[in-house]
Structure formats: C-alpha cells, structure tokens
Amino acid sequence: MMCGGCTAPQPSTDEIQSIADEVKSQLEEKANKKYPHFKAVQFKSQLVAGTNYFIKVQVDNDDFVHLRVFKSLPHENAPLALHDYQTNKTKNDELTYF
C-alpha cells in the first residue's frame, strides 16, 4: 500500500468488524443514537502515521453509516479513535475519504 493513498474498497473482515465494534459507543455518543444492528460490510484503509480505516456499517435494513477510525502506531499504545462519521448513507453510496 502506498503511504497516504487509500486502498480499493474491500469486503469487511472479522478484524474490521472488531474495529467497528470498538468505536460503536463513540459513534452512539456523538450521534446521540443507539444502533442495535451494527454490521461492517466494506472498508478502505489509508496508511499515515498510523492507519485510517473508512468503514461502511449497516445499521438497519437500508440504513448505513460511514466511519473514519484512526488506529495509532503500536508504540503509542493509544485506543482506537472515531475521527469522523457520516449518517444517512445507503448500500450504494461510495466509501470515500472524509
């Protein structure tokens, strides 16, 4: 992967679901909404001084959110951080940098 560039969209993995689950409470607090259904379906990643993950999460039948999660470098020993999110997305909305 090229430093600074995003990967192509990929189907979600168990690791990505785990990352999404870890920041779910941060999203619920920021959006002031509970998400009983929370399934990561697609992601992109970007290598910076750590890794940005752009994750498409299905939160209802036809309702999706896009998350931007930052994972710091291992030596920083910092928790995952939800840096931004977008609501009211659909299954067909492209996962882009935001």
Q: Phi and psi dihedrals of 27, rounded to 5?
A: -65, -45
**pLDDT of the residue at 97:** 86
Mean of pLDDT values over 56-73: 95
What is the share, in percent, of the chain residues with pLDDT greater than 90?
73
| Consecutive H or E run containing 20 | helix 14-31
For the cut 70, the answer to whether the pLDDT of residue 74 exceeds it is yes
For the cut 60, the answer to whether the pLDDT of residue 86 exceeds it is yes
Helix, strand, coil tally for the chain in percent (to 5) = 20, 45, 35
**pLDDT of the residue at 7:** 83
Choose the weakest-confidence range: 4-8, 25-29, 34-38, 82-86.
4-8
By the 8 A CB rule, do 7 and 16 touch?
A: no
What is the share, in percent, of the chain residues with pLDDT greater than 70?
96
